[in-house]
Copies of this chain bind each other. A is one copy, B any other.
């Protein structure tokens, strides 16, 4: 017996309040937020005050408006120091960065999206940037497609039947048969590539980090400006370095490359 999904308990309301703070809308007043979420102003007010007590939100003493607080830095510290993938990733990311001189980033699946959990920026004057926390749907971009392709078959099927392919740029794959074919190709090839599927002019290469069971844990990726992406020799060198690094990393996580 489940409750109607339109009703939330107070904790869920608190979380809906928190997730309302976005890059596009980083500050809220009580009444605006109340209108936005459909909760009464009193409720929103009480929730915000509770959140403030634990510095999940800050309140500007002058404007009385609310914004995200400073606890998240602590959570990030905990995440980065305890998530096994993250801890182990750094030396590999660093090595890959010095070999390719391109921006290296690490991604995981969160729900139906790819999220960047760590990044090292290229030392070059022209470089791609991939902010920690940035997201994309699982069908757009090399990292996304890589994570999807090396997920379990059940996950892929479940995802593909539920997803609605909306183009992000004019190079985004938005035909289902094309996406299925792409997944097969990525699996066979061992890495994914994309050019401008999410950001025009931005090329990307991505290889999976596999756990002992061969299921993807993360995607190690390079973000490369189009000019350099199209240089054949640099492109080949990037792929080679990426694949070798990802394999070494997977082995470190307990995956046996030769048995697969």
Contacts and interface: CB of A to CB of B under 8 A. Distances in A.
Given A22-B78, A23-B78, A81-B23, A133 B73 contact: yes
Interface residues of A, number: 47
Contacts of A80: 131-133
Contacts of A70: 108, 110, 115, 117
B47 A11 contact: yes
Interface in A1-26: 9-12, 14-16, 18-19, 21-23, 26
A134 interface: yes
Contact of A15 (B19, B56, B73): B56
A111 B73 contact: no
Interface in A58-98: 67-68, 70-82
Contacts of A75: 18, 21, 68, 72, 75, 133
Nearest to A27: B82
18 contacts: A10-B10, A11-B51, A12-B50, A15-B51, A15-B53, A15-B56, A18-B75, A26-B82, A67-B82, A68-B75, A68-B79, A70-B115, A70-B117, A73-B117, A74-B135, A76-B133, A80-B132, A80-B133
Contact of A115 (B11, B53, B74, B111): B74
Given A14-B14, A68-B78, A77-B133, A55 B110 contact: yes
Interface of A: 9-12, 14-16, 18-19, 21-23, 26-27, 47, 50-51, 53-56, 67-68, 70-82, 108, 110-111, 115-117, 131-135
